[in-house]
Structure 1
Amino acid sequence: MYPLVEPALKSDGFTRVSVINFTCYTHLQCNRGPSPTCLDWSEICNGQIDYVDSEIDEEHCWQLELNECNDDEYRCTNGQCIQRSFVRDDTRTSECTDGSDEVRINVEQQNKFRTLSPSFEVKDSTCSFSFLTNSCIETRKDLLLEAIDSIKDSSISEECWVACRRVMNAYFQDKILWLMICHNNPHIEIINKICPDMFYISHVPFLFGHIYLVHTRDDSKIFANEYFQPLYLCYTNSHYDEFFFHQPKIFFDNKTCFRSKVAMTIMITAITWQLNYYPLVFGFYKQLKGYNSVINYAPEMCNRSNMYQCMNSRKCIPVNRLMDTVNDCPQRDDANMAFINTAALTKQLKSYFKCEISNKYIHQSSVADRKCNCEVHPFKWCEDESLDITYARKNISFQTICDGFTELFPIMIEERNEMDETECELWSCNNIYTRCDGL
């Protein structure tokens, strides 16, 4: 690895990501896109093809997918094994490079992690903030987005390309300028006369290494009325046909293309059209992820005890991905316990978080995710969210016994519900917590 730009380390030991600091993995020589983009180590075996002209970054990743850990070890989502004693031991330090052994951090903490963490911690971890990269350095996403957008479709002229970019970017940067361009400038006329009926937004794939984004010439006319025509998603394989089954399809450049029928009112959230399209494309990424299959397992591989066969599909996934809040199967059956084979799920329970009172298991990624999965009635608190409160509710403390307040959740002992205030009349206490000192 080598740095594209030397890091700026402040006196407090933290790296500010306003200074670009990237590394490149140089042991795989393929085309990641136009300079200065390159392959980051975190993009190897991340479940999608990141090279433009090769699949080498995902070539041997099946070995990680099939990796099994010892009984005293915890299997990270990425297949790495760590000692089970390290799980949930420190939210600030993760032994799994993907952070799956610790409580998921919220958005505010994510921003702090990306901007104030020591540089080695950011560079040595993987994050799932973007579909473009697994790097925890957010500015890498912006660099990749700009680089992908800079690759002109070879089938259109430079004049058409420039006209399209100027019309689209002008809207987000300056509404008055955009109105002038649309009504008093030749760019719209150039698009109508010179641009083909359909053309690529970028001549490299945006999603999974083989899904391209395509515009039509008429989109520019609709754009003048403050509407985005939904993008065409075009691909060469048949993995995604089931998802688009009820939508009309067209063919372009030997690819099958689909798009939604409903246009969207423009929501201005950024100053460039790329960044405004980004949330839309990210939404497609999450919807189509279950249909994406980088590794084509042989049937005997899918029959292994540590693999789960998706319903009505040739795709199979490691059992540790079951119930992890990410839809890895086309039918989303990996997220529905009712469809999961009992043997496959039982094998995984030792790695899941057990809600003792609710008597249910949830995936570690669902713990402290600001969604209550294990609500305790009628007390209205969650075993999987407020972990410190949960500990206090389930573990008796000497200081709280017979102090007049019920902290401990009822525990069944010899068919009786016992609490920290049970039979306190038999244990007379005379301390600062049970008497008034007159003040």
Structure 2
Amino acid sequence: MFLAEWFGTQCQYSFFQSNKTATFDDVIMSQFKRKTRLKNKDVLNDPLLSTCYVGLRCHSMICLDWRQICDGSINCEHGEDEPDECVLLETNECKNDEHRCRSGMCIPRTFLVDFSVDCMDLSDETETYNSWPVESACSAIPMLICDFRLCDMGYFSCEDGQCIHLSSRDHESSCRNLRDVLLRQSLLTSTQNGSKRSNNINSECRHLMLCLSQKNTLYLDPSACLKCECTEQTVDARRYLQYFRKHCPSSFLFQNEADFLHPFVQSLYHNTPEYSSEWWLPTHFCYNQSQCPTFPITGSPLIDGLICIENNQIKHSLRVYGDFELLFSACSSPHTSTLADDSRLFYCDRSMKFISKYRLSDNSVDCFYKEDEFVNVTFMSTLNLTYHFKSKATDQWFARPLIGGGICEDYSDTLYIGGCKTASDIGCQFLRGLYTPPVYYVFQENCNGILKIRNYTVGDETDETNCEEWRWPQNRPRDGYWDDINGEDELNCPNTIYSYITHKSFNCSVSEHYCMRKSGVVECLSKERAGDNITNCVGTTDERTRSCAFLYPLHPFECANFDCIPLFALCDGHRDCPGDDDELICPEYYRCEYPDFTCNKGNVCIGRTRQCDGIIDCQPNGEDELFCDLASRRITQFSLDKIEEYPRVIDSSDLMITTTTLHSFASLPVNVLLKSESFNPTEAWFCNRGIIIKTRSL
């Protein structure tokens, strides 16, 4: 349906567009496409580009996003954003036919693992349970998931669905709408103006502390950066210690970009010989005890009536940036007898924090000392955790979105018939806990390329043992799957992508596979060295029968530490493998605007949905299909992958995995352009994720 030029009760409104035949979808996509990359000065000169939750006003560094209310992290000086009512999210219980999200939200159990995100914390789907690799594209894409997405503990909400580690200075970890710049600038401005609780430090001391982060200095005074001699790289020079000793007071409060809990938590520095070895780091973190009566670490009153804990007491326990926020989350749920008597809650004794019992053993740390992930098995058995999966032979519990890939030591989470590829598959019903299979293994699943029987073997044989004896006809179709242990059956096969990349792109002989080394260089590996139980190639591409590609088809790329990750995590600018293996294979792939995929060293950009789609879009070398054969599955004569309940509940053609949906939006053509003469580029950000309209006087 096309839009009229003017609308409203008196035709007083109109969209910013030049094409009168545009649809509303065109208008939305046009505005989001106009969101060009902002500059720091854009948001600093116009704070209204950031939205505010007007239902709560308090002393905080910037106005709060609605996602920061009841998120377990105290952002207001007196804790107004974490009122007592927030505990209702922890005590909430769902009905028998519902599933409880990590956040406490209830959804119908049939919505669990249905390839469409329904929980606001994204915890109902396997692909998004632990991370969402395409979140940074939220600012440029009109997706509902971006509008309601909640951030996990330790992450900063960019107010549009993107969540970042605030302390990170990596380029990829900045808010695309630069909301974090507003916060950092506010922190430094409060330091520049002097805290009401601290003795004002002189300009020399303040300048020295600001120079420790050149990035921060740019927010306030671009010219000041040129005057900085002491930086993060030269901070340990002795002459700067002497400067610190000369100009800074014996104790003072100073805030930098890492103090994301300010003003509730403040950083204290000491200018004394005792702390001279790392003078640039805060010696203590201080808080108001009246707002946090119980805290897991003992402190002392050192300045302005604040209780301060020594940095040395906690810095070795801080594994990641979010742990600092996790430590102080104990302040949002102080111990009371009422909470202690509530059977719906679990008390982390050492961390001094109440959480829902359903947060236990869910692969998400909620207590600073991890009591929630290391719970006594006898105690776990008494809780009746209906939203968890209990392994058959071991005392293990897992959140249901995590099972199905062999996460249990006895692999009992894989003992079901068929797969889970559409929401109506019986395999998906098993993952939801709605179906218990009468048998776990049938004949047709022998040698189908998916290891089904592991711990329940006979004579060390499984359903995938000795499959090389089941010889296929010589004229069988080449499917990309290594039927031979050394992959010889996929070499020199005309009209296959793997053969093209191997023999054309990398010039390997008919008896060699392409093999990427840890150095990032692609070489050729003889077939005699493939399948010899020695890993030679990145991703374990030469040892298919014992790698992630064989054990976990949905996560076929194997990191050097044996972690398994999906193919869409390759070359996305995010470090998914601890050794950076997933980004090592694409050292020049960051020249296109994310989430696009880069071809030919940045000369061509294609949509991410065209990666691993079976078509070579990156000519002539086919980078977009590199490693995609890891996901290939054997063509079987009898397949149970499509066993579904009858009648069908959901048409599989209507189902799209969240990441696929996001990428498809990103590649939509936009033919409607906004009027450049009446539309300032920064105005596209003004309504956050809303649509700008213009009005006329009547």
Normalising by structure 1, we get a TM-score of 0.66
Q: d(CA) in 2 for partners of 1:108 and 1:313? A: 28
Per-residue CA shift, 1:356-388, capped at 9, x if unaligned?
6867321357569x9x842458xxx9959xx87
Quote the Cα distance in structure 2 between the aligned partners of 1:134 and 1:383: 38
Greater Cα shift, 320-329 or 93-102:
320-329
2:398 corresponds to which residue? 362
Give the Cα–Cα distance (whole angstroms) in 1 for the partners of residues 240 and 456 of structure 2: 76
8 Å contact kept, 2:154–2:323: no
Q: Which structure's CA Rg is the greater one?
A: 2
Find 1:87's aligned residue among 99, 112, 118. 112
Compared with structure 1, are the counterparts of its residues 105 and 64 closer, same or farther at alpha carbon in structure 2 (3 Å cutoff)? closer
Aligned residues: 383
1:75 maps to 100
Confirm or deny: 8 A CA contact 1:375 1:383 kept in the other structure: no
Q: CA deviation at 1:343?
A: 5.8
Q: Is the 1:28–1:57 contact (alpha carbons within 8 Å) kept by the matching residues of 2?
A: no
> Residues 3-402 of structure 1: matches in 2 within 5 Å?
10-11=29-30, 18-19=37-38, 22-33=50-61, 37-90=62-115, 93-103=116-126, 104=128, 109-114=133-138, 117-118=141-142, 120-128=144-152, 130-133=154-157, 135=159, 136-137=161-162, 138=175, 139-152=178-191, 153-154=195-196, 155-157=199-201, 159-160=203-204, 162-170=206-214, 177-178=228-229, 192=245, 195-202=248-255, 206-207=260-261, 210-217=264-271, 228-237=280-289, 242-243=296-297, 251-261=302-312, 282-286=322-326, 288-289=327-328, 292-296=330-334, 298-311=336-349, 315-329=353-367, 332-338=370-376, 341-342=379-380, 344-346=382-384, 348=385, 350-355=386-391, 360-364=396-400, 373-375=407-409, 400=444
1:32 counterpart SS class: coil
* More displaced 10-residue stretch of structure 1: 293-302 or 80-89: 293-302
The structure showing larger relative contact order (alpha-carbon pairs under 8 Å, at least 6 residues apart) is: 2
RMSD: 5.3
> Deviations for 1:77-134, whole angstroms, at most 9, x for unmatched residues?
22211101111111xx421111121223666714555455425432321122744448
Change (3 A) 1:359 1:166: closer
- Equivalent in the alignment of 1:275: none
How far apart are residue 40 of structure 1 and its match? 0.6
In terms of mean alpha carbon deviation, does 114-123 or 300-309 score higher? 114-123
Residue 315 of structure 1: CA displacement?
4.3
Instruction: Give the letter for the 2:453 counterpart.
Output: F
Deviation at 1:218, TM superposition (A): 5.3
Contact 1:214–1:233 (8 Å) recurs in 2: yes
Under a length normalisation based on structure 2, what TM-score does the superposition of the two structures give? 0.44
Once the two structures are overlaid, the 10-residue window that deviates more, 56-65 or 359-368, is: 359-368
Structure 1 counterpart of 2:200, which letter? Answer: I
CA contact (8 A) 1:76 1:101 kept: yes
SS at match of 2:376: helix
Unmatched tracts of structure 1, length 5 or more: 1-5, 265-277
Q: Is the 8 A contact 1:308 1:344 kept in 2?
A: no
Query: What is the alpha-carbon distance in structure 2 between the residues aligned to residue 334 and residue 403 of structure 1?
Result: 40
Distance 1:45 1:89 in 2: 28
Aligned mates of 1:312, 1:322 — CA distance in 2: 15
CA contact (8 A) 2:205 2:247 kept: no
The one-letter amino acid paired with 2:121 is: D
Q: Deviations over 1:306-363 (max 9, x none)?
A: 22233478743211111234444465432223177346532x1x21145568673213
Judged with a 3 Å threshold, the aligned counterparts in structure 2 of structure 1 residues 244 and 9 are, in CA distance, closer, same or farther, namely farther
- 8 A Cα contact 2:388 2:397, kept in partner: yes
User: Which secondary structure state, in structure 2, belongs to the residue aligned with residue 304 of structure 1?
Assistant: coil
1:409 is aligned to 2:445: no
